[in-house]
Amino acid sequence: MLLFLAIICFSFSKSYAQPIRFQASSVSFTDKKDNGSWNEWSDFIDARVLITLDAKKDLITINSSEVQSFKIKAYGEITDNEEVNIVPFECMDNKFSKCTILIITKKKENNRVQFYITYNEVKFVYNIYAK
């Protein structure tokens, strides 16, 4: 798994970047309540989709039944501590909506990797692994 984290960190050097592919196994979502707090996450459902991160093109693509593409507008500061490794991106989707994407490795959960998409009113999380 350390090799996986090193590949992610190295890949963000745009001049040498090769696309990184992740396979999603499941997805969950939540939305905002009227009071601004978030509802509980839904149960995970199967989602066998390919997610591609192409730092050279500043593009993230989710190859679901309706292809979703996200233009990376800014690369955030990576957080790495004993519990998590978080790689953030500020993005705009193919419908021109702003969102934040996080790739989070949960070290204390057997290095489980998750891919979060956060909009103002809804969040999605995919369980992913390197392809």
* Residues of the chain under the 70 pLDDT cut: 1-17
| The pLDDT value given to residue 16 | 54
| The pLDDT value given to residue 45 | 96
| The pLDDT value given to residue 127 | 97
Q: Residue 122 forms beta bridges with which residues?
A: 31
Number of domains in the chain: 1
Residue 39, domain extent: 2-13+20-130
For residues 1-29, b (16+ Cβ closer than 10 Å) or e, as one string?
eeeebeebeebbeeeebeebebebeebbe
Helices (H), 1-131: 2-11
